[in-house]
Amino acid sequence: MAAARREFVLVLLAGAAGAALVVLAVRQAWAHALFTPPKPLPGQDIAVTGQQLVPLAGALALAALACLAAVIATRSVIRRAFGVLLAVLGAGAAAAAVTAVRAPAVLAAALGKGGGAVGGALDGPLGGSTTGGASAGGAVHEIIIAGPGRVILAGAPWRAAVLAGAAAIVLAGLATAWHGQRWPAMGARFERAAGPPAPGQSATGRPGPAPGADADSATMWESLNRDVDPTVDDAARG
């Protein structure tokens, strides 16, 4: 039983660590979009995170965490079913991470990110569009040229981290589907043992009151309420 409990805890920790690693990795910069407008406008370097490029990976990792909670709360066949689901979620996160990150997707995400940070779009004479925000005095705080840009992919280590986290989720799911039926259930230590307790013992196996003790106590209190000495038998009172 102790070995099964240790295995249960290790599997849960591995699955939770894998899901946390995926969530952490997709929040990092996976690519940079570089826009070089004509001088004197400054160049723009916009970081694009993995969450913007492959949002499915992060969503599946969060679903895996919820599935781990279900594994803790369930038992038997239902727990094994959640183990299969956990393995599927991990495989889906890995598949999303290996999806090719293409330059158009990076540029689109960068332009969407920049456009949301500043004001509305303005048509510019530079073959694209410019988005800017102006102060009360008319000074432009930021200009983003939505024209041709270059993409630098810098997220290979983080994509590898997503794959490692997804692999941990898959392994946790497979272990749950294979061995989950023999693992202890949540709150099992507080359940009553099968069968009635022996005389003189409580349901937990500890010494308890003898049979009829509760009834004797109730009779004693009733006698005291009637101003009758319970230590004197009926023959003596008669």
pLDDT in tens, the chain (238 residues): 788 888 889 999 999 999 999 999 999 999 888 887 767 777 788 889 999 999 999 999 999 999 999 999 888 889 999 999 999 999 999 999 888 778 888 888 887 765 443 333 333 333 343 344 333 444 333 444 445 678 888 888 999 999 999 999 999 999 999 988 888 876 544 344 445 555 555 555 555 555 554 556 667 667 766 766 666 655 555 5
Which of 115, 116, 100 has the alpha carbon at shortest distance from 151? Answer: 100
Task: Give the count of domains, the chain.
Answer: 2
Looking at the fold, whether 125 and 18 belong to one and the same domain comes out as: yes
Looking at the fold, whether 180 and 213 belong to one and the same domain comes out as: no
Looking at the fold, whether 105 and 141 belong to one and the same domain comes out as: yes
Looking at the fold, whether 112 and 205 belong to one and the same domain comes out as: no
Q: What is the pTM of this model?
A: 0.63
Collect all residues with Cβ–Cβ distance below 8 Å to 53 and sequence separation of at least 6: 30, 31, 101, 105, 106, 109
Looking at the fold, whether 208 and 166 belong to one and the same domain comes out as: no
Asked if residue 44 lies in contact with residue 35, where contact means CB atoms within 8 angstroms, the answer is yes
- Residue 195 lies inside a defined structural domain of this protein: no
Looking at the fold, whether 139 and 238 belong to one and the same domain comes out as: no
- Residue 97 lies inside a defined structural domain of this protein: yes
> What domain range is 208 assigned to?
200-238
- Residue 12 lies inside a defined structural domain of this protein: yes
Looking at the fold, whether 155 and 206 belong to one and the same domain comes out as: no
Long-range contacts of 190-199 (CB under 8 A, 24+ apart): none
